[in-house]
């Protein structure tokens, strides 16, 4: 709880710093504040309090996910030093909005009450609606903000309807009561409970971009500023999956909802991977790649294996690390290409910057799940859970889609290593070198020594 309060105060301080302090102190101020919040979580000082009547509980699951979200935000703030160096106004507001969104993300990892889950979703989402439209002179950015706001509002409506129906059947918003009710429902309220869970899961599925609730993802990824896209695809997705798992953890779902999750997994795997094959714009490629990875993570949910939390944590963190590194490389290549975001901007990357090309290859291979990378270990563990839980056909289909997915990652690698007379002349700041190198080395180390990252 102390970390939540500190990050909230930090967001307000960031706004005042934007008025009174030089722009160059904003990112360091945010990073120092986030590291202080991380220290509070690690020390255990005043972590769980009665301020919210035990509706927020930082158990082991919530603590490690909250720490991961803070560290990912620190990584993005380091990237932000160079990213916002060319922006002369509203920089403090950008950082502050990300901090406020992070508060909602941390609430999603540690809620024990559906009202806190709803508040977490809204605190997470409302700053993102603004951040998505951060490029005020860009039509695409305005379109992204509008689509995200409209579709996010519909998703919130579904979610509110769902928790209202759950309250009608269980007479409680408490997660423990709802999970106990799922194991022994009161006769005559089963349909009300089923509909409540359906709409609640639909609202959460929007946040993880699971099919058929994925429509916002490609357009919002494409139109949002690159740093905001990276924040959405890492911090937001990780928090949403933690919230999703906490809802269905230890819950005996009705067979209809189990089938709903299975169908959603099949559709998400298929659409994410197949449509990604046709993408030539890098942000849209990453959006459909993210949808495909959502399908792999949903596979881990189906059996609700005791190892699922650990697998979920490893997968989301390693995916996020690779994604942050790729968006940094995209920003550098985009600048050299005068704003173009087609994958052809990576052509000749190896000739102009060999280390950058090698790291890009490692990050893409990790997302593809190639052996010796962290992505391979993550997918292997997901497939193992699917097999042990008895979902053999779904797991076999996921393996097939993983093989299909290798193709669109290899296309980008081919561009990076295809020689041309004059490759992109990238200007890489020391901090961006640090972020990119950290991400590349991390996916290799975690692939060789996965025990370094565990729940």
Q: Which two structure tokens, joined as six digits, stand for 345?
A: 């901007």
Give the Cα separation of 80 and 331 in Å (integer). 11
Strand-pair partners of 113: 174
Number of structural domains the chain divides into: 1
**Inside any domain, residue 39:** no
Whether 181 is covered by a domain: the verdict is: no
Task: Determine contact, residues 398/383, Cβ cutoff 8 Å.
Answer: yes
The dihedral region occupied by 90, where left means phi > 0, alpha psi between -120 and 50, and beta the remainder, is left
Query: Coil, helix or strand for 174?
Result: strand
Alpha helices in 418-429 (DSSP H): none
Decide if 184 is inside a domain: no
Exposed, middle or buried, 146 (CB in 10 Å: 0-12/13-18/19+)?
A: middle
Using a 10 angstrom Cβ sphere, with 0-12 exposed, 13-18 middle and 19 or more buried, the burial of residue 236 is buried
Is 122 within a domain?
no
Contact 183, 193 (CB under 8 A): no
Please name the residue that has the structure tokens 């290593």: 417
- pLDDT at residue 240 greater than cutoff 90: yes
Structural domain harbouring 391: 254-455
Judge if pTM exceeds 0.75: yes
Give the pLDDT confidence of 309-367 residue by residue, as tens digits.
899 999 999 999 999 999 999 999 888 888 788 898 888 888 888 899 999 999 999 99
Q: Is 14 in contact with 96 (CB distance < 8 Å)?
A: yes
In a domain, 178, yes or no: no
* pLDDT 10s digits, 421-447: 665 678 888 899 999 999 999 999 999
DSSP 8-state symbol, 127:
H
Rounded to whole angstroms, how far apart are CA atoms 387 and 412? 31
Pick from 30, 25, 6: which is nearest to 97 by CA?
30
pLDDT, one tens digit per residue, over 108-152 is: 998 888 999 999 999 999 999 999 987 777 788 888 889 899 988
What is the rounded CA–CA span in Å between residue 73 and residue 102?
Answer: 8
Task: Let me know if residue 350 belongs to a domain.
Answer: yes
Q: What distance in Å separates the CA atoms of residue 441 and residue 374, rounded to the nearest whole number?
A: 10
d(CA 326, CA 329): 5
Name the DSSP letter for residue 421.
Answer: S
| Domain membership flag for residue 321 | yes
- Tokens standing for residue 138: 């860009």
Give the tens place of pLDDT for each residue, 187-216: 767 888 889 999 999 999 998 999 888 888
| Of 87-91, 301-305, 410-414, the least confident | 87-91
- The answer to whether residue 26 sits within a structural domain is no
């Amino acid at each position: 709880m102390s970390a939540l309060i500190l990050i909230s105060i930090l967001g307000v301080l960031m706004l005042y710093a934007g008025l009174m302090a030089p722009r160059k102190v904003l990112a360091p101020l945010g990073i120092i504040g986030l590291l202080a919040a991380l220290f509070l979580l690690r020390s255990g000082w005043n972590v769980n309090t009665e301020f919210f009547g035990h509706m927020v509980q930082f158990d082991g699951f919530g603590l490690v996910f909250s720490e991961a979200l803070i560290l990912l935000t620190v990584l993005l703030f380091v990237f932000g030093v160079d990213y916002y160096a060319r922006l002369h106004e509203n920089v403090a507001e950008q950082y502050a909005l990300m901090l406020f969104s992070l508060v909602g993300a941390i609430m999603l990892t540690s809620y024990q009450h559906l009202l806190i889950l709803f508040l977490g979703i809204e605190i997470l989402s409302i700053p993102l609606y603004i951040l998505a439209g951060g490029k005020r002179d860009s039509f695409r950015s305005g379109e992204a903000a509008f689509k995200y706001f409209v579709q996010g509002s519909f998703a919130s409506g579904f979610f509110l309807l769902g928790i209202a129906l759950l309250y009608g059947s269980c007479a409680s918003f408490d997660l423990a009561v709802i999970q106990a009710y799922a194991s022994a429902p009161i006769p005559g309220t089963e349909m009300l409970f089923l509909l409540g869970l359906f709409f609640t899961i639909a609202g959460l599925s929007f946040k993880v971009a699971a099919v058929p609730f994925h429509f916002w993802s490609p357009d919002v990824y494409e139109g949002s500023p690159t740093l905001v896209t990276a924040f959405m695809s890492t911090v937001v997705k990780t928090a949403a999956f933690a919230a999703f798992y906490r809802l269905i953890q230890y819950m005996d779902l009705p067979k209809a909802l189990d089938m709903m999750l299975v169908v959603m997994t099949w559709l998400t795997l298929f659409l994410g991977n197949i449509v990604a094959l046709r993408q030539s714009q890098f942000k849209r490629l990453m959006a459909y790649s993210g949808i495909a990875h959502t399908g792999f993570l949903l596979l881990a949910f189906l059996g609700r294996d005791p190892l699922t939390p650990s697998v979920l944590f490893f997968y989301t963190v390693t995916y996020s690390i690779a994604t942050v590194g790729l968006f940094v490389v995209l920003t550098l290549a985009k600048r050299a290409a005068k704003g173009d975001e087609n994958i052809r901007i990576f052509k000749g990357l190896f000739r102009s910057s060999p280390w950058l090309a090698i790291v890009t290859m490692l990050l893409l291979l990790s997302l593809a799940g190639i052996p010796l990378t962290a992505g391979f270990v993550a997918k292997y563990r997901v497939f193992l859970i699917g097999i042990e839980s008895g979902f053999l056909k779904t797991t076999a289909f996921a393996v097939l889609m993983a093989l299909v997915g290798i193709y669109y990652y290899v296309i980008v690698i081919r561009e990076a290593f295809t020689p041309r007379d004059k490759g992109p002349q990238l200007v890489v700041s020391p901090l961006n070198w640090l972020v990119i190198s950290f991400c590349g080395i991390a996916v290799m180390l975690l692939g060789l020594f996965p025990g370094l990252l565990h729940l």
